[in-house]
Amino acid sequence: MHELGLINYVVDEVSKIAEEQNVKKIHSVTLQFGEVSGIVTSYLHDYWKWYTKKFPLFEGAELFTEEIPAVTWCDDCKITYSTVEYGKTCPHCGSGNTWLLRGNEMMIKDVVVEDVTEGSEGKLDAQGEYTPQ
Ligand SMILES: [Zn+2]
């Protein structure tokens, strides 16, 4: 139920921002998440669909996802390599002295909203800043 928790979080965050900015309608939300975060995209879309039917704010809103490639750092040879390809063992020196640099995170990249006053579209970033476009 990892994905359900995630969608809950996203819907909460976006709702809060929308309320602050007096946004009545969300057009789309783009999420970025790491390659090894274990998130199953199809589940995300299933849960998302349910929310778009339940909340008017999200009615018809699209969910886009982008993957962040996972990168591991080798402490012995001070280089980075692809986590998915080589796992925890450095392909250069065979060391297990390695750390996941990125690839396990999740963030809301952007939120596209309808500007109710202008009837045009704008962007709302996760910090709550609204930029008309
Ligand atoms: Zn190494």
Residue pLDDT tens, the chain, 133 long:
589 999 999 999 999 999 998 899 999 999 999 999 999 999 999 999 999 999 999 999 999 999 999 999 999 999 999 999 999 999 999 999 999 999 999 999 999 998 655 555 666 655 544 444 4
Helix axes 2-20, 41-54, angle to 10 degrees: 40
How far, in Å, from the CA of 87 to the mean position of ligand 1? 12
Q: Which two tokens stand for residue 56?
A: 């008017």
How far, in Å, from the CA of 102 to the mean position of ligand 1? 17
How far, in Å, from the CA of 19 to the mean position of ligand 1? 49
CATH 3.40.830.10 fits 2-68+105-125, yes or no: no
How far, in Å, from the CA of 88 to the mean position of ligand 1? 10
How far, in Å, from the CA of 12 to the mean position of ligand 1? 42
User: Using CA atoms, how far apart are residues 116 and 122, in angstroms rounded to an integer?
Assistant: 10
Domain ranges of the chain: 2-68+105-125
How far, in Å, from the CA of 14 to the mean position of ligand 1? 41
How far, in Å, from the CA of 38 to the mean position of ligand 1? 25
User: Using CA atoms, how far apart are residues 101 and 81, in angstroms rounded to an integer?
Assistant: 10
